[in-house]
Amino acid sequence: MNPIKQESSMDTKEIGNLGEKIAQKYLRDRGYRILDENFHFRIPGSPQRAEIDIVAKKDDIVSFIEVKTLHNAEWSRIISPEEKVDFFKRKKIVKAAEFWLIKNKMSLDSKWDLRVLSIRLDDVSGKAKIRYLKNLSLY
């Protein structure tokens, strides 16, 4: 049974979890080593929390990857998954990334970047369309 074809009955959290599994396989198939997943960080002085879906490393670059998954039944025909990662979301990811580096005793001057792995699940074909956006800026 194809898990993507069954996703129309899944809730948002389950779709997100499926997207993260697809993303991890995609990254591993391309030579990335997964260092961490679902890393949570509370922004000091704020009730806001930030999460990094996947921290991965290839060569000497640590990538902090936001995974966005939508399916055809949603409004993904109007907006792409990566467009949901706006300025404020990227800003929170940067803070969490900096904390992750410090927590893991890595210099903030280490080579690191922000990336988005965008996944559209197709109800009909059962396939995932993946876009991997590298080197996102904060702005």
Measuring CA to CA, how many Å separate 26 from each of 21, 43, 91, 100, 110?
9, 30, 25, 23, 24
pLDDT greater at residue 11 or residue 35: 35
Q: Quick: pLDDT tens for 4-15.
A: 444 446 677 888
pLDDT computed for residue 6 by the predictor: 47
pLDDT computed for residue 93 by the predictor: 87
Measuring CA to CA, how many Å separate 24 from each of 38, 106, 128?
12, 23, 13
Q: Quick: pLDDT tens for 48-83.
A: 788 899 999 999 999 999 998 887 655 556 666 677
pLDDT computed for residue 23 by the predictor: 95
| Radius of gyration (C-alpha) of the chain in whole angstroms | 15
Domain boundaries, the chain: 5-136
- Domain 5-136: top CATH class: alpha beta
Q: What is the pTM for the complete model shown?
A: 0.82
